[in-house]
Amino acid sequence: MTTVRTTDHPRLPVRDKAAAASRAWSGVSPMLTRLAAEHATGVLLREHGTLHLHDGLVVHAESPSAPGLGTLLTARGTLSSEEWQRALADAEDGHGIGCRLVEGGLVAPGALEVCHLTALYDAAYFALAPSSTPGRFRYGTAHRFGPLHAVPVAALERETLRRRDLLRRIWPEARADTAPLARAHPVAAPALTRRRRAVLDRVDGARTAPDIARELGRPAFHTLVDVRRLTAAGLVRARGEPPPPVVREPPVVLAPPVPDPHITLLRRLRDALEAL
């Protein structure tokens, strides 16, 4: 009888699914992901905007392409321009803008938080756009807005990717997002909602989508959605783009009718009887 000796081998490592998912998530900005892991506080300066971090969370965002919080608050009459300017002046003295607005009874806390998050996600979408220059981080700079709801980096990046995918599904060409917009004249214009009509009414060959958003006091990303839908409907195009070709239907050529042999015979009989 043969005896087989076995040795105890070390157990194979078990894959940690949570850690694997974390490694697989590369994010929109590797630098921003690293700063979140470090729980960094400061300002991330990118080509198309700025992100303010506190303890690795995003607390504020700004971009030249997105209307700021002040524009969103004053455009709808929530605040007057004078009240917003006074809040900014108080912030220079070390008081947070948000605290000034809430403590002064100018804005309800819930309304301010919703408006702030809207402006944050809106500006972050542009700030996290692909860039041709590397970002720079300045440690230890606090934003003067004051403490508000902070957003995890992973949640912000996932929302940015969702928005990119939404725009691609509406219309794949992105040139109309930043170029001056001109009107197109389709053969059959579709009916428009009041919201899109307001955007179309401001298309004059000079304004861009961010210009229209700022004038209407709306988030810039929402205006991009409207512009892409108008582009897909053939109502708007980026200035300088050739108008879409006019598709002309070829003329319909009707085949000559095939004579009915019975009718032909009856006509011959009629002609013969009339000749008698």
Q: Where are the domains of the chain?
A: 28-170, 175-238
- At 275 the pLDDT is 63
Rg (CA), the chain: 32
**Dihedral over alpha carbons 26, 29, 31, 33 (to 10 degrees):** -50
Q: How far is CA 94 from CA 12, 50, 59, 64, 98, in A?
A: 57, 21, 17, 25, 12
Residue whose C-alpha is closest to residue 63's, from 197, 181, 224, 206:
224
The angle at the Cα of 132, spanning 131 to 134, to the nearest 5 degrees, equals 80
Least confident span in 78-87, 142-151, 155-164, 200-209 = 142-151
pLDDT per position as a tens digit, 28-70: 899 999 999 999 999 999 999 999 999 999 999 999 999 998 8
- At 255 the pLDDT is 60
Least confident span in 43-52, 181-190, 207-216, 220-229 = 181-190
Q: At residue 269, does pLDDT exceed 80?
A: no
What's the rounded mean pLDDT across residues 220-232? 96
Q: At residue 19, does pLDDT exceed 50?
A: no
DSSP state of 229: H
Contact at 8 Å (CB) between 164 and 28? no
- At 194 the pLDDT is 94
The angle at the Cα of 211, spanning 47 to 216, to the nearest 5 degrees, equals 130
Task: State how far the Cα of 60 lies from the Cα of 216, in Å rounded to an integer.
Answer: 22
Predicted structure pTM score? 0.75
Please indicate whether residue 173 or residue 249 has the higher confidence score (pLDDT).
173
What is the topology classification, in CATH, of domain 175-238?
A: Arc Repressor Mutant, subunit A (1.10.10)
Residue 149's pLDDT band (cuts 50, 70, 90): confident
- At 257 the pLDDT is 62
Question: Could you give the 3-state DSSP secondary structure of residue 190?
Answer: coil
pLDDT per position as a tens digit, 156-172: 999 999 999 999 999 99
